[in-house]
Every structure is written in structure tokens, then in C-alpha cells.
Copies of this chain bind each other. A is one copy, B any other.
Amino acid sequence: MLTDRQLLILQVIIDDFIRSAQPVGSRSLSKKNEIQYSSATVRNEMSDLEEMGFIEKTHTSSGRVPSEKGYRFYVDHLLSPQALKQQDISQIHSIFAERIFEMENIVQRSAKILSELTNYTSIVLGPNHHENRVKQIQVVPISEGTAIAIIVTDTGHVESRRFSFPKDIKADDIEKMVRILNERLVGTSLMDMHDRLYKEIAIILKKHIANYDLMLKAFAEIMNIPVHDKLFFGGKMNMLNQPEFSDIEKLRLLMDMIEREENLYKLIRPSDGSGIQVKIGKENEVIAMENCSLITATFPIAGGQKGSLAILGPTRMEYSRVISLLTILSTDLSKALSSLYDKPPES
């Protein structure tokens, strides 16, 4: 479809634009070493490329700018897997050098370093707790009528909630309930717990404990885990540095979306396959992200779960570099998070 020369020119145009954020003209192209043709020849080719929809003019006599279709083609066919600086690589690995045991901590650090290395905004979706299995349930009384319920899962995740109960319930009864809960619920996933509480546990509690229904209700209510997992961000403000967001209105739209976190779940939800996924501009189907691209890396975690790493930047993004960084980091993260589980990571 495209001649070699057209491929070359398209690539140089996009590379140049990504670097400079300025429309690229035929003359400046023909001056480059890679391109041995006169500006007139380049102009002809550019005209063709425009006709095919890969590049656009911002006005009748301006240089050309990549279109979304152009970026798409660039990402799919022209991406030269750019070598990262050794420094960047070791900086990523350094996160995992210390032996850290908190998932949140690891994930937060990953988000931070990613945003620092790219100057874009990073978004990390940690492992899903829904499928964690209950390891132990405990209740710690705090004062008369209130107590803290704690659930520890097999991944080491701790959920705790304060709850109150009628005063005529005795410490004895609470202990009895905790014993029953542990006997019956250990091994259940958090997701299924609510169901089992009401179906299976309710019947047993009924036999042993007066006022069991109040206790059960209090306990069940507090123990529904939030629907969404927590998102971790790095460099939320990095978009301020991008010239495409010097327009404060665009900025506000985007920041609003980031702040509300609403659409983000849909966008970042791990896709079917593992690996890298690139969404360019309107492909994201969110108005605020018209000028943005989102690169998502999905990686496996032990237990069949998946994690996601994403970089949000302008469509004029350093695709090659970002993809390399995401690839490395997602591999590291996959290992690190998996090691926090009982089971070894699936590959």
C-alpha cells in the first residue's frame, strides 16, 4: 500500500512531531539526514499521505501533523523498539531491590517512578481483592457496644471495619460467633462471603446465639468490599507540562475526569490477553481524552488474577519509550506481586 519512501517520511514526520510538538514542513524534512530527496519530492509524498489520511494540516499552508490514523499506523507498523537508557532500567529495578511486603507500597512506588520517567500520568490498578480468600477473621472489642472486625486474606490483605452491636450481647457470644465464622468461612473468597453469611452461616448462628440476627446484620453490612479496587496515580499534574494542555479548558476537562476516577475503571480494566494495549485519542471514547492516548499493560499475578499499569499522555506521546518502560515494569511487578501470594506466579 505505502511505498518504502512514504513509510520513511511518515515515520520521520511523527517522530519529529512527537519531539517538537510543532507541525512538520517539507523543507525541514528534506534537510534531515535520513531523507535524501528535495523538499518538492517530499511535498508530493506528503500530499499523498494526507490524502490517505495519515497526516493533516492545521491550516492551508501549515506543516503536517499526524492524524489519529497516522498514530495508529505508526504504533502498529513503524514502532522501532527503542533501547532504554541503562539508567532508566536500573531505576525501575531499584524499586524491587529492597524487599517490601506491602502491596500498596510497591504499587504506589511503581506509579510514581513511571510518571517520573515519562513525564506523563501513570495509573496503576492493584490486584483485585475480591478473589482473595479469607485466612482469618477476628473481632476486637473497643468499647461497650463497638468492636473492630478484621479479615485477613491469604494474600496478606487486611480489611477492617468498626461496627456497633446491641449492648445486651455478651462478649461470650461474640467469641462464639467468631469461632463459627472462622470454622466456616476460612477459604471463602471475599466476593462470596456475603452470600454465604446469609445462607449458610445464618442457620448455624441461629442455633447457638441469641440475637444472632442483629450480630449477623452488623457484620455482613460492614463487610462488603468496595466494588472497585483502588487506583494509584503518579504525576497527576504532569499534563500541565504538555503544550497541548496550555488551553486551560481542556486541562480542566481532563483533570476533572482524573479526579473523579469514574471512566478510568472501564478504560483500564485488564483486557483479555496480557500485554500492551494502545488506545489513541477518540478510541478511548471519552470526550476529555480526545487529545490523549492511553497505553495499558496487563500482567498476570498469581492466582489467575490480573493487574494493570497504564500511562496517560497526549496523543503526541513517546509511544516507543513508554511501551518499553511498561513492558519492563509490568514484568517486575508481576513477579513482585505474585511473590506475595502463596502460589507461584503463572507465566
Give A contacts to B, CB under 8 Å. 99, 101-102, 135-136, 138, 140, 142-143, 146, 148, 150, 152, 154-156, 158, 160-164, 222, 236-237, 240-241, 246, 248, 251-252, 255-256, 259, 340, 342
Contacts and interface: CB of A to CB of B under 8 A. Distances in A.
Given A152-B160, A162-B340, 9 more contacts: A102-B161, A138-B150, A142-B156, A142-B342, A143-B342, A160-B160, A237-B255, A237-B256, A240-B252
Stoichiometry, as copies per complex, reads 2
Nearest to A142: B156
A246 B161 CA distance: 43
A135 B241 CA distance: 48
Contacts of A135: 140, 142
Given A248-B240, A248-B246, A101 B164 contact: yes
Contact of A252 (B158, B237, B252): B237
Nearest to A241: B252
A102 B101 CA distance: 25
16 contacts: A101-B146, A101-B162, A101-B222, A142-B152, A142-B155, A148-B158, A150-B158, A158-B158, A158-B160, A162-B340, A236-B259, A237-B255, A237-B259, A240-B248, A240-B251, A241-B252
